[in-house]
A and B are shown apart, each in its own frame.
Chain A
Amino acid sequence: MIRDVALGQYIPGKSGIHRMDPRVKISLTFLFIIFLFVGSNYASMGVMTVLVAGILLATGIPLRQYFKSLKAVLFVVIFTSVLNLFYGSGQVLVQWGVMQITEGGVNRAVFIALRIVCLMLLSAALTFTTSPTELTDAIERLLKPLKIFHVKVHEIAMMMTIALRFVPTLLEETDKIMSAQKARGADLESGGLMQRVKALIPILIPLFVSAFRRAYDLAMAMECRCYHGGEGRTRMKVLKAKKSDAVAVIGALLLCAGVILLNIFLPGTVR
């Protein structure tokens, strides 16, 4: 059950988005997320929404997968939109005691919902189409300039690689420990919040102990395989930006320029 958690899972495929340079993918995802919040009227927001929808379709991954990733944030989306309904000004649509829903409020609610949903979908599209190793690799390259500030870029990337590698292993282990504790009569499902948190302790302690043991083993295995940091290390897979990546970047920049223009020439709906 615990294994079903969709944790940035990669879904192999052959779409153009899959084959894109992960560095470009990450950069563009960030750019688009920023522009989701730049768009301040329905026209520019519409452009971004259509763009996100286009990306989703282009990945060739069943939409069902995307809905699954949305489920986790559904509550946040509803909660913030409902909250936003009561803010804002403009024409009053519904009056209910001191509470009132205004036109501005409705607009805000729609925007915030759209932004969160698009943000989630975009990041899902990124993790669905990019293998964890590609992701960490790309992050390592993108952060490389930070080396001049003595940021240990290679070490950070290596830690991410290992963390990703051990997520399924540790989840499996958690499952096992939970079953083992249940078999010994541990009650994990009933009681108030405090009781449940307390019930987690007998699960977390063995999990931590085993994680440290694994870390020790892994460190030894890495040393056996001559690991000595990023110095003098080569890579089997070297990232190469292709022509199609350049096209994607140019397209994205044009789109963003369009969004800015729409923002300038059309009245803002929110803010």
Chain B
Amino acid sequence: MDSIQNEEAFIQTESVTFSYGETVPDDVLKGITMQVKKGEFVALLGHNGSGKSTMAKMYNAMLLPSGGTVYAGGMDTKDEALLYEIRRRVGLVLQNPDNQLVASVVEEDVAFGPENLGVPTEEIRRRVDNALKAVEMYEFREFAPHKLSGGQKQRIAIAGIIAMEPDCIVLDEPTAMLDPRGRTEVLRTIHRLNREKGITIVLITHYMDEAIGADRILVMDDGKILTEGSPEQVFSQVELLKQHQLDVPQSTELIYRLRGAGADLPDCVLSVEECVQALERIRPDFSGKQAESTRKGGGDHGTD
């Protein structure tokens, strides 16, 4: 226990390395030291093969590090006696919503976790109802999972984790298989859980837009942490991200290029609204209705 330096840190990794066996020569993780504070919303960015999914499985002891240590809630994930306690406190939501639902009725699926933990019957009922309300899926409690949309299924998967009353939820590319509407639903849900219930969130994704709303962003590349910091800090390093074939949000890139061309614009812009505001400031004649219509019209050009 004494090796935990930071009281506030909920998840802490110390020079974690990992390789998938001796036949695979390269380590997937090459010494990762990081921490996630209690109640924080952290986005873990990286493209395919950067080791971010492997990292996700480290937090709840689905995988154990080959070297280094992972602490979750002060517990060493190598300690087998604590395995179920760790998995209860750190829930993991996977990418494919279809493959993580167990039962053929929504509410029974949500009950699966608490049932495994041996929670008393009435308590399970209460937890399931609360979890379903927390993801706004209470009306669907008697539905069969295959009758739901991808976003709804993913929210049920999240409810299944919430019913175990975890301190932290790790989501491994939860929106990768969803349509834009499903993505918005899921993101809204996890942001609300973070805000209202104070659940620590680790969102693993390769969509830059999803990372904007996080408190802190960690960028992974080739099994290492490339850079970390607030969204502004991370995305202002456009050059570095580009070098590693990572995208930046579109409005950030636009402003970055305009600055490169000599325009007098702020350092880092993340959202579309900020971008419009910044542009309005340097071109007052281009403001108001005109800007509004260009913004809205942007998407329609192809269809007309």
Chain A residues proximal to chain B, CB less than 8 Å: 12, 131-133, 161-162, 164-165, 168-169, 172, 213-214, 217-218, 220-228, 232-238
Alpha-carbon separation in the docked complex, A168 to B96 (Å) = 16
New A-B pairs, 12, CB < 8 Å, besides A226-B88, A232-B118: A133-B103, A133-B104, A161-B103, A165-B102, A217-B94, A222-B102, A224-B94, A225-B116, A226-B84, A226-B164, A227-B116, A236-B108
Alpha-carbon separation in the docked complex, A172 to B133 (Å) = 29
Q: A223-B87, A225-B113, A226-B84 are in contact. Are A169 and B98 (CB under 8 A)?
A: yes
Min CB distance A5 to B, Å, is: 14
Q: A214-B98, A214-B99, A228-B84 are in contact. Are A236 and B105 (CB under 8 A)?
A: no
Q: A226-B87, A226-B116 are in contact. Are A236 and B100 (CB under 8 A)?
A: no
Indicate if the CB atoms of B161 and A225 lie closer than 8 Å.
yes
Q: Does B140 contact A (CB under 8 A)?
A: no
Indicate if the CB atoms of B146 and A224 lie closer than 8 Å.
no
Q: Does B150 contact A (CB under 8 A)?
A: no
Q: Does B119 contact A (CB under 8 A)?
A: yes
Min CB distance B58 to A, Å, is: 13
Chain B residues proximal to chain A, CB less than 8 Å: 60, 62, 84, 87-88, 91-92, 94, 96, 98-105, 107-108, 111-121, 124-125, 128, 142, 144-146, 157, 160-161, 164
Contacts of B160 in A (CB 8 A): 225
Indicate if the CB atoms of A165 and B84 lie closer than 8 Å.
no
Alpha-carbon separation in the docked complex, A25 to B164 (Å) = 33
Q: A165-B101, A168-B146 are in contact. Are A223 and B62 (CB under 8 A)?
A: yes
**Cβ-defined partner of A224 (8 Å) among B87, B96, B119, B145:** B87
Q: A225-B116, A226-B116 are in contact. Are A218 and B87 (CB under 8 A)?
A: no
Q: A226-B88, A234-B119, A236-B111 are in contact. Are A221 and B128 (CB under 8 A)?
A: no
Indicate if the CB atoms of B99 and A221 lie closer than 8 Å.
yes
Indicate if the CB atoms of A218 and B100 lie closer than 8 Å.
yes
Name, among A227, A232, A236, the residue most crowded by chain B CB atoms within 10 Å (CB to CB). A236
Min CB distance B247 to A, Å, is: 27
Contacts of B100 in A (CB 8 A): 217-218, 221, 224
Return the chain A residue nearest B101 by Cβ.
A165
Indicate if the CB atoms of B103 and A165 lie closer than 8 Å.
yes
Alpha-carbon separation in the docked complex, A21 to B277 (Å) = 64
